[in-house]
Amino acid sequence: MIFRYFLKRKIKAIYPSFDVGRVDEIHKDYKSRFFKKLISQRAKPTRLLGQNGVWFLLRSLYRSNSMFNGLSSSILSRNRGLAFFSVRAHFETTGAVSYFYNSLCKFYEEKLSYEELDMILKRLVVGGKTFSDDDSGINLPEPFNVLKLIDEADKLFSKMAKEKHQVFRDQYNFLSEFCHPNCLALTLNDEMPKLGTVLFHKKPDFKSADFSQLLHTFCASCTLFFPIYDKCFSIIQKKEEIPHLIK
């Protein structure tokens, strides 16, 4: 509670036009959906879609919340670089949940086989490259290209808006410029008052333009993440055997 108080005060001081009440709304969104434990209802469920689907969703929710906490901490510690990383990572999480939702709908519309959906879920949950082709004996499925996930978010957004958009891809590309050692990232914490002079600030602070980009972009990602998360959860809860969830 104290943390949120100082966060909102900091935001208000730098970006007065932002509705700081949104910080409390996002916090409540996470809190209302949080479960501290899941337990399988029985040793061998009829099929694992409910078990694995809920597992993926809860982990995505936790990751989403971590990115929100990361953005908040970055604002308070005046770490502009990490703030951009947090927002970009949240876009990726929204993309992953969007991909799962689109695949889930195709499965129940009989446009996708159970085996195909199961492999998609495996790639989303345990996909990776770290342990593949080594002596550990662990062969992870190939993860999805992150841009494919971002494009899935745009597909959903376009469907909801009833016209084609690529706002998630455009914003993701822009955020990425601050996450690579490119011009925007390298010059994020300094300024050039005149040609040939560069000032490096010991304690660089956020600017109003940063907040406009970061806060509104993060909120836009949340605006898609939460309803899609809820839709996925509702579908699985109605149609599949899910684990016992403990608040």
Examine residue 134 and state whether it is found in any structural domain, yes or no.
Answer: yes
Q: What is the pLDDT along the chain (247 residues), one digit of tens a residue?
A: 788 999 999 999 988 999 999 999 999 999 999 999 998 876 676 788 999 999 999 999 999 999 999 999 999 998 999 999 999 999 999 999 999 999 999 999 999 999 999 999 999 998 887 765 555 556 788 899 999 999 999 999 998 888 888 999 999 999 999 999 988 888 888 888 888 899 888 877 888 888 888 999 999 999 999 999 999 999 999 999 999 999 9
Domain that holds residue 222: 46-189+204-246
Tell me the sheet residues that pair with 244.
39
Examine residue 28 and state whether it is found in any structural domain, yes or no.
Answer: no
Examine residue 95 and state whether it is found in any structural domain, yes or no.
Answer: yes
CB atoms within 10 A of CB 121: 21
The residue type found at 103 is S
| Cβ atoms of residues 225 and 94 within 8 Å | yes
Beta carbons within 8 Å of 129's beta carbon, 6+ residues apart: 140, 142, 143
Examine residue 58 and state whether it is found in any structural domain, yes or no.
Answer: yes
Examine residue 19 and state whether it is found in any structural domain, yes or no.
Answer: no
Buried b (16+ CB within 10 A) or exposed e, 24-56: eebbebbeebeeeeeeeeeeebeebbbbbbbbb
Examine residue 68 and state whether it is found in any structural domain, yes or no.
Answer: yes
The residue type found at 79 is N
CB atoms within 10 A of CB 226: 20
Examine residue 110 and state whether it is found in any structural domain, yes or no.
Answer: yes
Interatomic CA distance for residues 69 and 89, integer angstroms: 12
Number of domains making up the chain: 1
